[in-house]
Amino acid sequence: MSKRKEKVSDNIMKFGIFGDITFENKRIVKDLIFNLKTKFSNNIMILSLGNYAGADKLVKKYALEMGCTYKEHNPVHTSYTLYSAFPPDFYDKKWHPFRANLHVNSFTKECDMFIVLTSKLNPTDKFSKQVTTMTKKFTKLKKNFTLIQDSI
């Protein structure tokens, strides 16, 4: 019986959807999750980085609203939530540079495809620099990557 559960979980497509905190286009996120759900016939898992605002907040809202399986890879120095990907003892640690990217590394390894939502892509912006470094990781891991930029 446990083998059957593992087999079913292997058929799930894992989408890592994240973005900057200034992204506020609800329609793009809602349409994106709806299209993924219809295309993959409910065999999807939405993963995000668990940010409190912007794209991650909208992804969480619409993924749960549409009944998708949802997990978030929130940072070590934050509190454990109902949707956290790691066990409770992983969280509520003091911030340290060594632990700063643990959640991002596990996020990149777990996802099958990545979708980045951004309202602007400015080379001097901190988020843009993070997208650039994560893009290098995605290509190194040979994972699919899509950038959706808001036209506003």
Higher pLDDT, 81 or 141: 81
Encoded amino acid at 45, one letter: M
98-109 pLDDT, tens digit each = 666 667 777 777
Output phi, psi for 62, to 5 deg. Answer: -80, -30
Q: Nearest 10 degrees: CA dihedral of 128, 141, 143, 84? A: -70
Question: Across the strands, what pairs with 84?
Answer: 72
- Mean pLDDT value of segment 117-127: 68
pLDDT at 5: 39
**Distance between CA atoms of residues 81 and 74, nearest Å:** 9
Extended strands (E) in 10-149: 13-19, 44-48, 69-72, 113-118, 144-149
pLDDT at 124: 62
Looking at the chain, the whole-number percentage of residues with pLDDT higher than 70 is 68
Report how far residue 125's alpha carbon sits from residue 93's, in angstroms, rounded to the nearest whole number: 28
pTM comes to: 0.76
Measured from the Cβ of residue 139, the count of other Cβ atoms closer than 10 Å reads: 10
Task: Please report the sign of the dihedral spanned by the C-alpha atoms of residue 50, residue 53, residue 55, residue 60.
Answer: positive
The helix/strand/coil state of 65 is helix
Of 34-43, 96-105, 143-152, give the range with the top mean pLDDT: 34-43
Percentage of the chain beyond pLDDT 90 is 15
Structure confidence at residue 64 as a pLDDT band (50, 70, 90): very high
